[in-house]
Amino acid sequence: MIAAVAVVLLAAVLAYALFGGADFGAGFWDLTAGGPQRGARPRAVIEHSIGPVWEANHVWLIFIFVILWTSFPQAYASITLTLFVPLMIAALGIVLRGASFAFRKAVVTTRNRRLFGAGFAASSVLVPYCMGAIVGGIATGRVPTGGRAGDPVDSWINPTSTVGGVLAVAAAAYLSAVYLVWDARGLDQTDMAEYFRRRAVASAVVVAVIAAAGAFVLRADADYLFDGLISRALPVVILSGACGVGALLLLVRGAARGARALALVAVAAAVVSWGVAQSPYILPTNLTFAAAAAPPGTLTAVLAVVVLAAVIVLPGFVLLYVLDRRGLLPEEGVDDVADPDVDRAPDNDPHLHAATTRDSIEEPGR
């Protein structure tokens, strides 16, 4: 039963990494899209891609916290007491990102659109970095047991956390670029598909370099995790690497469909390899899943709720993503209001360019 709940927890982390990660990665490409003229069309594709689903992706994060708090309360207490700084930064970043994304399409003045656009882009980088730093702090054993607080600084500002944060940002950007290639093709924007394909190739190389460098950091700073990666988790690591290489080759050749599937498997296998390498510890090497688990009655109730959620909630998510992939969901936001500031904004505001260009894209199914 403990193992089943641990698998559910890992599955929730995996879902958030794949869906939420790509969501954050879109913000990274928004940040680096360039000035008003050059960045208008990429930002329009980005807004079209994430607009219908960005709120839903964070449900997985809530699910993670609920499962962790209910099923492994001692670990939850230790993690939140020790890593409260990056957790707080990430929470504020998620709120800022969502508010900025929503409001920048509704405000009409140039200054406000710039402000909200900057908040959306910057927080899209800050949040995944904090998430990766949190994973690094847990993996290195810097979170103590017994619901006690560890060092609030060293627990997330250390070599492994730094590598984890940078790797999380790079992996999110990679996933998002692969998705955006597919979305741009669906909009018949072949030049934008090529634009994001080049960035997907570049980010794949960056992820590989960071992962290779990170292996040396793990060997020195997180020896238990490193030993697990080269032993019990090695088959999953090999799968991740092979799929990553395959996705890169397909991206170079321009095969978006196969590249997207392999990229998903590569990132998913990387997340799973972390979980396998860290087992049986939830806090290496201080606290095992068995020692941290709640009473059997609680775990049974948790599994029952998970089954009910899979039956009641999961079909809604599947329907949402299917409709989004087929271009059958309406655009979010409001039409621009006739305003002197807005009329003068296109030459100065990249985010207003994104909003106006988005309206000119003909969506499939419309």
Q: Tokens 């670990």 identify what position?
A: 75
164 within a domain of the structure (yes/no): yes
Banded model confidence at residue 351, pLDDT cuts 50, 70, 90: very low
- Looking at the chain, the number of H-run helices and the number of E-run strands are 18, 2
Report if residue 291 sits inside a domain. yes
**What CA–CA distance (Å, rounded) separates 192 from 179?**
12
How much is the pLDDT for 251?
Answer: 92
**CA-to-CA distance for 246 and 262, rounded, in angstroms?**
7
Q: Is the pLDDT of residue 110 over 90?
A: no
Pull the structure tokens for residue 334: 């409001």
* Structural contact between residues 154 and 60, judged by C-beta atoms closer than 8 angstroms: no
The packing angle between helices 110-139 and 256-278, to 10°, is 40
Alpha-carbon span 58 to 180, nearest angstrom: 20
Token duo for residue 212: 């290779």
Residue 105 has what DSSP assignment? Answer: T
* pLDDT of the residue at 108: 63
Q: At what angle do helices 36-50 and 21-31 cross, to 10 degrees?
A: 170
Residue 222 lies in a domain: no
**Residue 47's pLDDT band (boundaries 50, 70, 90)?**
confident
pLDDT at 118: 82
Identify residue 233 by its one-letter amino acid code: A
* Number of domains the chain is built from: 1
**d(Cα 231, Cα 39) in Å, to the nearest integer?**
45
Query: What is the DSSP secondary structure assignment for residue 72, as one 8-state letter?
Result: -
Residue 365 in this model has a pLDDT that exceeds 70: no
User: Which of the residue ranges 82-91, 114-123, 202-211, 353-362 would you say has the lowest mean pLDDT?
Assistant: 353-362
Is 159 inside any structural domain? yes
Residue 312 lies in a domain: yes
Neighbours of 126 (CB within 10 A): 22
Residue-wise over 186-214: b if at least 16 C-beta within 10 A, else e? bbebeebbebbbebbbebbebbbebbeeb
Q: What is the mean pLDDT of residues 222-228?
A: 94
Tell me the pLDDT tens digit for each residue of 252-291.
988 777 888 999 999 999 999 999 999 999 999 889 999 9
Domain membership flag for residue 192? no
pLDDT exceeds 90 at position 73: yes
Choose among 70, 91, 87: nearest CA to 79: 87
- Is residue 227 one of the residues assigned to a domain? no
pLDDT at position 5 is 96
Q: Name the least confident of 17-21, 311-315, 345-349.
A: 345-349
pLDDT band at 51 (very low <50, low <70, confident <90, very high): low
- Does the pLDDT at position 334 exceed 60? no
- Confidence at 357, pLDDT banded by 50, 70, 90: very low
The per-residue pLDDT for 353 is: 44
Average pLDDT over residues 127-145: 94
Question: Within 13 A of 235's CA, how many CA atoms are on the CB side?
Answer: 2
Of 37-46, 241-250, 323-332, where does mean pLDDT reach its minimum? 323-332
Three-state SS string over 7-42 comes to HHHHHHHHHHHHHHHHHHHHHHHHHCCCCHHHHHHH
Judge residue 307's burial from the number of C-beta atoms within 10 Å of its C-beta, 0-12 exposed, 13-18 middle, 19 or more buried: exposed
Name the β-bridge partners of 287: 283
> Which residues are registered as beta bridge partners of 281?
288
- Average pLDDT rounded to a whole number, residues 216-243: 95
Domain coverage including residue 299: 2-178+279-360
Query: 226 lies in a domain?
Result: no
The one-character DSSP state at 255 is -
Q: Which residues contact 201 (CB under 8 A, 6 or more apart)?
A: 248, 251, 252
CB 128 within 8 A of CB 172: yes
DSSP states of 177-199: HHHHHHHHHHTT-HHHHHHHHHH
Q: How far apart are CA 25 and CA 174, in angstroms?
A: 7
Q: How far apart are alpha carbons 188 and 94 in whole angstroms? A: 31
265: Cβ contacts below 8 Å, ≥ 6 apart: 239, 240, 243
**Mean of the per-residue pLDDT values of the chain:** 85
Residue 331 pLDDT:
59
Residues in the chain: 366
